[in-house]
Structure 1
Amino acid sequence: MAPEVPPIDKTKLSEQVGIGQDGELQLHLENIRLAYNLPAITALTVKDGLVFEIASTGYRDIHTQTLVTDNDRWAIGSLTKSMTAMVAARLVEQEVISFDSTIADIFPELKGQIRAEHESISLKQLLNMTSGLKKDIDIKDRRWFDISKTTLMLRSMLTKEVLNTAPVQKRGQYEYSNVGYTIAGHMLERVTNQTWEQLISEELFSQLGITNFGFGEPSFEQSDQPKGHTYKNGKWQAITAGKEIIPKVYGPAGTVNISLSELALYLSKVLEGMKGGDNILSKESYKTLHTIYSEAQEPGVGYAMGWFAKLDNTAFRHDGFTGSFSVSSFLYPNENSAYFIAVNGDTENAAKALFAALELLRERNFSN
C-alpha cells in the first residue's frame, strides 16, 4: 500500500524566481510550501564562506500554527553522516584510531561472537559504505527506544546484533548502510570512552563555535522548535513524545538537529576542505574524506565518506529523511557555494519541494 501524500497544486508556484538578496526568498518558499502542501520549509545559500540568503516559512506545528523562524533548529537526518566522518578524521589525526582499524581491533571481545567475515571490516569501509553490511535495523522494534538502557548499551547491542547478520553486498562495493555508520560511531566511542554525542559536541561543534544544536526531534528538547510531521488519514500530524520514528541509537547515522546559521558555518568549513584548504582538519584529511571510494547506484555518482559526489568531484550532496523531516544539501566547491533545504514533513511531496527549492536557490544565486 503506497504511503499517503497531500494533494499538489503547482499553480501556486512562482513564475519568476527573483534575484538573490532581493528580500523575496521567503515569498518564493511560501509558494513552494503551498504548492506541495507542507507544514514548513526553510532554505539557505552559503556563498564565499558567508550566508548569502536564508528564509523560513510555515508552521512549527501545523495545528497550533506557530510560525517558524530563521533561528529554529531542524533535524538534518543523514547529513549527520558527514559530521561523524569529520569526527573520525579528527581522532585519526590525534592517533586515537586509524581508518584501517578493524572491528576486531576495537572490539576484541567480539571475536568468535560475530560472523568471522565481519571481524576485518575497517572504520574506513564503514564510513565509505563498502562494508557489505545491511542498511537498517527494524526501527519499529521498541527495543531501540528502551530508556532503561544507556545509548552506549544500545549501540553495543546493535553492533553485536548487526555483525551477526549476513552481508548483503560484497566487501568493497557500495551498499548504503545506516547501521554501518552507527557501528563506526560506536568504534569512536570505544576508543575515547565518550559517547558519540559528546564527541560530535566537543570535536566538531565546539571547534567551530557552534552552540545551537541538539539530537533527535528538536521539539523534544525545546518546545519552541519545529515539530516533525507525518501525513496520515488525509492530514498532517505532529510528532509527539513517545512517537519518535528514529531511535537515538542511530545517532552517528542521522540524529543531529541544528540551526541554519550554525549549519552555514559547518558547510563553509567543509567547502574550504573540498577546495584543498584546511581548518579544523588538515587538507590531507579532507582529501581522504572527499575521495570517492565506490560508484553508487546512481549513474555518474560515487560515495566518499559522508557524501555522495559526482565522479568529477564538481558536486557533493547528501539528503536526509527521518520519517518526520526531509532535507537536502548540495555543495559545489568550484563555485564556493552550498545550499540546504529542510521541510518538517516526510512524504514524496517533501522530496519534490526540496528539489524545487534547490532550483530556486541556484537560479537566484546565479542571477545576482
Structure 2
Amino acid sequence: MNLKTPSAAPSAALHRRQWLATVGLGALLSACGGGGSGDPLDPEQVRLQSRASDLVSEGLVGVAMGWADAREIRTAVAGLRRLGDSALLEPGDLMAIGSNTKAMTACVAASVVDQGLLRWDSTLAQVLPELAREALPVYRSVTLRDLLGHRAGVMAFTDQADIDAFEQHAGDEALAGLQQPADMQAFFLRWLLQQPPVRATGEIPGYVYSNAGYILVSRMLASATGQDWSTLLELRLAKPLGLSLFVGAPLRQGPNQPAGHAGQGRRLQPLALREGMEQAWLGLLDPAGGVSLRVRDDAVWLQWHLRALRGEATPLPPGYVRELLEMAHATTGNYSLGWVVQARHGANWLLHSGAIGGFEALSIVALDGSGAGLAHSNTTTPDSMALLFDSVAALMA
C-alpha cells in the first residue's frame, strides 16, 4: 500500500515525452463524463473534458475530473479502464482515492465528538486504557486531535520499510495465527505503541504524517460508539450526504472496474490485487486510505464543503465545519482533519492528494466557498501527481 504524504504544492521533474515514448499512450480514445447541464456545447463542460483528454495524451491510462461550485457540478472522464483492453473508462466507474479518505474519517470523528461520545482532547489513556497501559508513556496523552492532525509521532506506514519492520518483529507464525480483523488490529496497535516516537523534522511543530495514526482513530471511534469504521462511514457520512462509497480497490467490486497501473521496469503495467494474509493486514489501513468512489460522488462531497464554507446548512458535522473555517486563518502547510492549507494566486485552498495501488487522486477546495476541483487517475508515474495538480489548479483559476 502506498498512501502518499500530502504535498501543499506537488512538484516533480516532468519527463512527459520520455514517459509517453516508453509506455506508448499517446493515442488513447476518450469518453465524456456526465454532470452539470449535460449539454455537450456547454463551454465549461468542453473545457473540463478537454483537460481530462489532455491528461490521457500526457501518459495517464484513465482520468476522471470534476468541478463544483455551490450549485452546479460537472464531471468528465477519458482513457481506459485497463491497458491491453479496449473498455473505456465510464462516469460510473470507481476510482481509489487513497489518503483523501482521511478527511472522511475526520468527518466521522467530528460527528462522534458532536454527539458527546468523544472530545477532541480525549486521550488514548482515557478511551483505550488497556491499550495505553502497554504503550510507551509518551503515547498515553496523545489526543484524538493529535492523531487526526498527525501530531502523535507514531510510525508513518507510508512505504514498505515500516511494513517490513512490523512483519520482521512480529514473525510469520504470530501473524498467520490471527484471523479476525479486530485481533489483527489489536496486535498491530500494541506493537505500534511500543515503538519509539518519530521526531518531527519539518517546519510545522510536531507534525509527523502517519497512516497508522488513523488506525488508532478508528479504534477510538469504535470504542466510543460500538461500531466499526466502515459502518460509521456509511451511517454518519455516506447516507447523510447522499454518497455511494466502496471500501477497497475498485476491482474488488467486480472485474469490469478500473485497474491501477504503475511502472514496472520501463513499462506501465496493470497491478494485481493483493490477496490472502497480505491483503488482510493492509486492510487495517483502510481508515487512512481505503475508499473508492465515482467521480460525481467525490464532486458532491466537495460541494457540501463549499456550501458549508459559505455558511449554508449542510449534513456535515458542525464541529468539522468549524475546524475548516478556522483553517481559513491558518498558515500555508498547516494540516487538520485530512486537509492541507495552501495559498496560491491570492486565494487559500484546502488540498489533499492520495495514492494507492496504482491509483492517484487530488482534491482542492477554495476556502471562500467559490469552487472546488478534483482529479482521479488509475496511473502512478513519476510525474502523474504533478500533472493532476496542474490540471486541477487550472480549473480553480
Q: TM-score range by the shorter chain?
A: 0.7 to 0.9
Partner of 1:329: 363
Partner of 2:262: 230
Q: What secondary structure, in the 3-state scheme, does the structure 1 residue paired with 2:383 have?
A: helix
Shift of 1:265: 1.5
Q: What secondary structure, in the 3-state scheme, does the structure 2 residue paired with 1:320 have?
A: strand
The answer to whether the Cα contact below 8 Å between 1:276 and 1:287 also exists between their aligned partners in 2 is: no
Return 269-278 or 256-265, whichever deviates more: 269-278
d(CA) in 2 for partners of 1:121 and 1:80?
22
Q: 2:271 aligns with which of 227, 239, 250?
A: 239
Unaligned runs of 5+ in 1: 364-368
Q: 1:155 aligns with which of 161, 185, 188?
A: 185
Identity %: 25
Q: What secondary structure, in the 3-state scheme, does the structure 1 residue paired with 2:80 have?
A: strand
Return 260-269 or 283-292, whichever deviates more: 283-292
CA offset digits 1:33-78 (Å, max 9, x no partner)? 222x221111100112321x21111111112231101111110111
Shift of 1:164: 0.9
What TM-score, normalized to structure 2? 0.79
Partner of 2:33: none
d(CA) in 2 for partners of 1:130 and 1:20?
44
Letter in 2 for 1:332: A
Shift of 1:285: 3.9
User: Is the alpha carbon distance of 1:20 and 1:254 closer, same or farther for their aligned partners in structure 2, counting shifts above 3 Å?
Assistant: farther
CA offset digits 1:207-230 (Å, max 9, x no partner)? 11223x211211112222111112
Partner of 1:273: 308
Q: What secondary structure, in the 3-state scheme, does the structure 1 residue paired with 2:391 have?
A: helix
Partner of 1:112: 133
Shift of 1:24: 5.0
What TM-score, normalized to structure 1? 0.84
User: Is the alpha carbon distance of 1:361 and 1:172 closer, same or farther for their aligned partners in structure 2, counting shifts above 3 Å?
Assistant: closer
Partner of 2:396: 362
Shift of 1:128: 1.3
Q: 1:183 aligns with which of 201, 210, 216?
A: 216
Q: 2:237 aligns with which of 184, 195, 204?
A: 204
Partner of 1:33: 56
Partner of 2:321: 286
Q: 1:70 aligns with which of 64, 68, 91?
A: 91
User: Is the alpha carbon distance of 1:257 and 1:147 closer, same or farther for their aligned partners in structure 2, counting shifts above 3 Å?
Assistant: farther
Q: 1:218 aligns with which of 247, 250, 261?
A: 250
Q: What secondary structure, in the 3-state scheme, does the structure 1 residue paired with 2:379 have?
A: coil
Partner of 1:366: none
Letter in 2 for 1:90: S
CA offset digits 1:224-246 (Å, max 9, x no partner)? 21111121132222122336889
CA offset digits 1:73-110 (Å, max 9, x no partner)? 11011111100110001011111211111111111112
Q: 2:352 aligns with which of 299, 303, 318?
A: 318
Superposed counterparts of 1:68-147, under 5 Å: 68-136=89-157, 138-139=162-163
CA RMSD of aligned residues (A): 3.1
Letter in 2 for 1:231: G
Q: 2:373 aligns with which of 319, 327, 339?
A: 339
The answer to whether the Cα contact below 8 Å between 2:69 and 2:306 also exists between their aligned partners in 1 is: no
Q: What secondary structure, in the 3-state scheme, does the structure 1 residue paired with 2:112 have?
A: helix
User: Is the alpha carbon distance of 1:145 and 1:347 closer, same or farther for their aligned partners in structure 2, counting shifts above 3 Å?
Assistant: farther
The answer to whether the Cα contact below 8 Å between 1:39 and 1:344 also exists between their aligned partners in 2 is: yes
Indicate whether 1:47 and 2:69 are aligned. yes
Partner of 2:9: none
d(CA) in 1 for partners of 2:55 and 2:349?
24
d(CA) in 2 for partners of 1:290 and 1:149?
43
Shift of 1:9: 5.3
d(CA) in 1 for partners of 2:226 and 2:328?
29
User: Is the alpha carbon distance of 1:291 and 1:177 closer, same or farther for their aligned partners in structure 2, counting shifts above 3 Å?
Assistant: farther
d(CA) in 2 for partners of 1:30 and 1:146?
45
Q: 1:195 aligns with which of 224, 228, 233?
A: 228
d(CA) in 1 for partners of 2:86 and 2:235?
35
Shift of 1:284: 4.6
Return 104-113 or 82-91, whichever deviates more: 104-113
Letter in 1 for 2:44: Q
The answer to whether the Cα contact below 8 Å between 1:272 and 1:278 also exists between their aligned partners in 2 is: yes
Shift of 1:182: 1.7
The answer to whether the Cα contact below 8 Å between 2:132 and 2:139 also exists between their aligned partners in 1 is: no
Q: What secondary structure, in the 3-state scheme, does the structure 1 residue paired with 2:363 have?
A: strand
d(CA) in 1 for partners of 2:299 and 2:311?
19
d(CA) in 2 for partners of 1:146 and 1:349?
38
d(CA) in 1 for partners of 2:193 and 2:326?
26
Partner of 1:166: 196
Shift of 1:271: 2.0
